[in-house]
Amino acid sequence: MRRAVEGVAHVAGFARIDGNRVPKGLPCPAEALIGGDALDRAIMAASIVAKVTRDRLMHELHTRHPEYRFDQHKGYSTPVHLAALQTHGPCPQHRRSFAPVRLALEGRNPGPGTRDPEQLQVGRLVVPL
């Protein structure tokens, strides 16, 4: 979150966060709004831009690693994604804190019942590129 705020072309005077807490170290004052993507138009718009951008990045990632079928699941924890992790192991872009990736790196089976605590909390899987 801090990197996102710091990366804005102009200096942010205030940040609204969709969530229940303000991350430490932000370079500007901020407030957290639980369910902010349903309450605040700026957060709504940012959520849409982020999703569209992420989907495009996942399609690009699919062209580099078609065996993972990122075009189908966009990096979410689906049976197709978990099966690809089990078969191919993680690619460099897989988030190492994602429980099925950790299991695959440890040589354990990231089967369909595997859950990611962060995914449950946030409701989204972020795959950094």
pLDDT tens, position by position, 65-107: 999 999 999 988 899 998 898 888 889 899 888 888 888 888 7
**Residue 37 in contact with residue 18, Cβ under 8 Å?**
yes
Domains of the chain: 1-39 (no CATH), 52-129 (3.30.420.10)
Distance CA 48, CA 62 (A): 21
Residue 13, classed as helix, strand or coil, is coil
**Residue 72 in contact with residue 109, Cβ under 8 Å?**
no
Quick: pLDDT tens for 13-56. Answer: 899 999 999 999 888 999 999 999 999 999 999 999 999 999 99
What is the pTM (predicted TM-score) of this model?
A: 0.66
Q: Cβ contacts of residue 99 below 8 Å, gap of 6+?
A: 110, 114, 115, 116, 117
At 52, list the tokens: 């569209």
